[in-house]
A and B are shown apart, each in its own frame.
Chain A
Amino acid sequence: MSDKIFRSLLLVSALILLLIFAGMFFSLSKGAIPAFKEFGFLGFIFSSEWNSSTGAEQYGALAFISGTLLTSLLALAFCLPFSLPVSFFVGEYYRGKKVAGVLGGIVDLLAGIPSIVYGLWGFYALRPLIQSLGLSEQGFGMLTSSLVLAIMIIPYASSLSAEFIRMVPQELKEGAYSLGATRAEVIRNIILPNSFSGIFSAYILALGRAIGETMAVTMLIGNTNRIPHGLMDTGNTMASIIANQFGEADGLKLSSLIAIGLLLFLITAIVNFLGRLMIKRYSI
């Protein structure tokens, strides 16, 4: 009898996970309905208006969607030239050596630093640098936030890529070496083609991280509610507009913010879904 209870307890816990996920989707959708009813689903997504003055309330997500895409894709581009060498350092050049463990550990620690500390560092250390380089007057904007985001996602991209690089069969590499290939040629012709989809999926998952980052971006992006027109422009991401305005929002505005939350939830779910799917297919 007690076994029966125990087994059903286990099942119930797994069910709770399912219910949490379904409940999140349901609650976000329910909260978003007033906004979608007022502006239309597509109308909400493709409008870049964000006006909360009473009487002329008009909300749309396009400015924040574009801000999110711009910052996260830029962050991916900035992180690539550093995270890729790290994964080859750890997974190929010094694999199994002590120095690889040390570098891997240091890079992993980057993932442990709280988002708000990244934001402070960006605000007090990186922003003055950007100002003194004359890139932008205030130092806020897409570039500043993407640079900090890039540092934040390096560990996610590099540690997973290193595992896929490590998984390339030794025989393949030895075959190439025995034909006289240099290490650079082995990497180019054997390791990269064999681990490409794994590395690609690691970067998709890192992109998912960048899309959802909130505090650091909120502190650095400048918080203006329009479509960004360039690297130096200020803006807002979907996460940062929620962090900025949720506290004082009610009525239609609250519903619009929840709608943005729903869109963000869906986008990160799709990005993560694609990343996991690729890993699954690759590892079989």
Chain B
Amino acid sequence: MSSLKYRLFKNKLLSLSVIVLSALTAVPLVLIIGKVFLQGWRQINWDFFTETTPSTLDALLAINNNQPIPGGIANGIVGTLMMVLIASAIAIPIGVMSGIYLSENRKTRFSSVVRFLTDLLQGTPSIILGIIAYLWVVIPLKSYSALAGSVALAIMMLPLIVRSTEETMNLLPVSLKEAGLALGSPYSSVVLKVLLPSAFGGVFTGILLSISRVIGETAPLMLTALGATAIQWDVSKPASAVSLLIWEFYNDPNLQSMIWSASLFLLLLVLSLNILAKQLAKKWRI
């Protein structure tokens, strides 16, 4: 047995290193957000949200004349919103209904298989879903499209929605369901009018988190939506997205100064969705 002093010293040393190393872990977040803010805020103005991306040539001319680069990321914003909207329209009904199924049939073998595959799907790299949407949508339609991007994002959103719906439904007291059924209401209205509204907070949080997870995705969209220089409302045509624009700016030396403003916009969008979801989760906890 070592001496008491040595043991206390070891104890102090461990506490200190845990605190110091934990504090250090927060540093990258500050550095990343700081860098994006400092470099990005200057380029953000009204045009940034209403104009489409400038061509390389326009940007080069502006740089040579020492002017700010004209144009913005409106095509990306429209594309991102459109694809997230379609993806939500696909993923939310399927996800919520499967979540209800899993919660209502907890013990069956089928449920445990589906639950397990959902967890595996959650861990599947996003680029794989890009390949899948390419094979399932781009090849049959013979064109890159916003629809293909939406399918990739929808598959990414599914697992989170399924599991959060299931877990929230599991928390509801059985008496709630029994009371509904005892009043003679059919099963469907008990689920839709009693159980689902009671679980709304958790379900909604899951949906918001899944949106914040896919809204910044780039890799699957590179293989599916491809990108576009104009605002594109047709879902069967290639579309742009904010994340895709960042990738384009990164690869085009003349457009480099727009990288950070687009990143700042994307970062604010994702993080505020994320924080909103977590605040709601706290507020609406069952």
**Hey, which bits of chain A sit against chain B, CB under 8 A?**
2-3, 5-7, 9-14, 16-18, 20-21, 23-24, 27-28, 31, 81-83, 85-86, 88-89, 93, 103, 105-110, 112-121, 123-125, 151, 154, 158, 182-185, 187, 205, 208-209, 211-215, 218-219, 239, 242-243, 246-247, 257-258, 261, 264-265, 268-269, 271-273, 276
CB distance B123 to A205 under 8 Å? yes
Residues on A with C-beta less than 8 A from B247 are 116, 215
Residues on B with C-beta less than 8 A from A258 are 131, 135
B167 interface residue (CB < 8 Å to A)? no
CB distance B132 to A124 under 8 Å? no
Chain A-chain B contacts (Cβ-Cβ < 8 Å), number: 241
**Contact residue among A85, A117, A269 (Cβ-Cβ distance under 8 Å from B123):** A269
CB distance B111 to A114 under 8 Å? no
Given A3-B187, A116-B247, A273-B120, A212:B128 Cβ within 8 A? yes
Residues on A with C-beta less than 8 A from B237 are none
In the assembly, what is the distance between CA of A272 and CA of B122, in Å?
A: 9
B66 interface residue (CB < 8 Å to A)? no
Residues on A with C-beta less than 8 A from B125 are 211-214, 239, 264-265, 268
Q: How far is the CB of A250 from chain B (nearest CB, A)?
A: 11
CB distance A21 to B121 under 8 Å? yes
Q: How far is the CB of A274 from chain B (nearest CB, A)?
A: 11
Q: Which of B15-23, B56-64, B67-75 contacts A (4 or more CB under 8 A)?
A: B15-23
Residues on B with C-beta less than 8 A from A213 are 125
B203 interface residue (CB < 8 Å to A)? no
Given A182-B11, A239-B125, A89:B218 Cβ within 8 A? no
**Residue among B17, B22, B35, B136 having the largest count of chain A Cβ atoms under 10 Å:** B22
Q: How far is the CB of B218 from chain A (nearest CB, A)?
A: 5
CB distance A103 to B26 under 8 Å? yes
B243 interface residue (CB < 8 Å to A)? yes
Within 8 A of A (CB), among B75-107: 93-95, 97-98, 100-102, 104
Q: How far is the CB of B66 from chain A (nearest CB, A)?
A: 22
B246 interface residue (CB < 8 Å to A)? yes
**Ordered nearest first, which 7 A-B pairs have the shortest CB separation?**
A212-B125, A114-B216, A13-B97, A272-B123, A6-B188, A85-B21, A182-B11
B207 interface residue (CB < 8 Å to A)? no
In the assembly, what is the distance between CA of A17 and CA of B124, in Å?
A: 14
In the assembly, what is the distance between CA of A6 and CA of B8, in Å?
A: 64
11 contacts between A and B (CB under 8 A): A82-B21, A93-B18, A103-B22, A107-B29, A112-B270, A114-B270, A117-B266, A120-B250, A158-B25, A215-B218, A276-B119
Residues on A with C-beta less than 8 A from B17 are 85
CB distance B18 to A113 under 8 Å? no
Residues on A with C-beta less than 8 A from B117 are 17-18, 21
**Contact residue among B14, B187, B274 (Cβ-Cβ distance under 8 Å from A109):** B274
Residues on A with C-beta less than 8 A from B19 are 85, 89, 93
CB distance A86 to B116 under 8 Å? no
CB distance B158 to A20 under 8 Å? yes
B126 interface residue (CB < 8 Å to A)? yes
Q: How far is the CB of B255 from chain A (nearest CB, A)?
A: 13
**Hey, which bits of chain B sit against chain A, CB under 8 A?**
7-8, 10-11, 13-15, 17-19, 21-22, 24-26, 28-29, 31-32, 35-36, 93-95, 97-98, 100-102, 104, 110-111, 113-114, 116-128, 130-132, 134-136, 155, 158, 162, 186-188, 191, 212, 216-219, 222-223, 226, 243, 246-247, 250, 259-260, 263, 266-267, 270-271, 274-275, 278
In the assembly, what is the distance between CA of A103 and CA of B19, in Å?
A: 11
Given A21-B120, A246-B131, A247-B222, A117:B188 Cβ within 8 A? no
In the assembly, what is the distance between CA of A107 and CA of B30, in Å?
A: 11
Q: How far is the CB of B241 from chain A (nearest CB, A)?
A: 11
In the assembly, what is the distance between CA of A219 and CA of B35, in Å?
A: 17
CB distance A109 to B29 under 8 Å? yes
In the assembly, what is the distance between CA of A101 and CA of B223, in Å?
A: 39
Given contact pairs A112-B212, A269-B124, a sample of 17 additional A-B residue pairs in the complex whose CB atoms are under 8 Å apart: A10-B100, A28-B132, A103-B25, A117-B216, A117-B267, A120-B246, A125-B35, A184-B7, A185-B7, A187-B14, A214-B218, A242-B130, A242-B223, A261-B131, A271-B123, A272-B120, A272-B122
CB distance B26 to A107 under 8 Å? yes
CB distance A154 to B131 under 8 Å? no
Given A3-B187, A27-B132, A117-B263, A17:B219 Cβ within 8 A? no
Residues on A with C-beta less than 8 A from B101 are 10-11, 13-14
Given A114-B270, A182-B11, A212-B128, A27:B136 Cβ within 8 A? yes
Q: How far is the CB of B81 from chain A (nearest CB, A)?
A: 16
Residues on B with C-beta less than 8 A from A18 are 113-114, 117
Residues on B with C-beta less than 8 A from A268 are 123-125, 128
CB distance B267 to A184 under 8 Å? no
Given A116-B243, A182-B8, A239:B127 Cβ within 8 A? yes
CB distance A120 to B259 under 8 Å? yes
CB distance A120 to B263 under 8 Å? yes
In the assembly, what is the distance between CA of A110 and CA of B217, in Å?
A: 15
Q: How far is the CB of B60 from chain A (nearest CB, A)?
A: 21
Closest to B116 in A: A276
Residues on B with C-beta less than 8 A from A265 are 124-125, 128
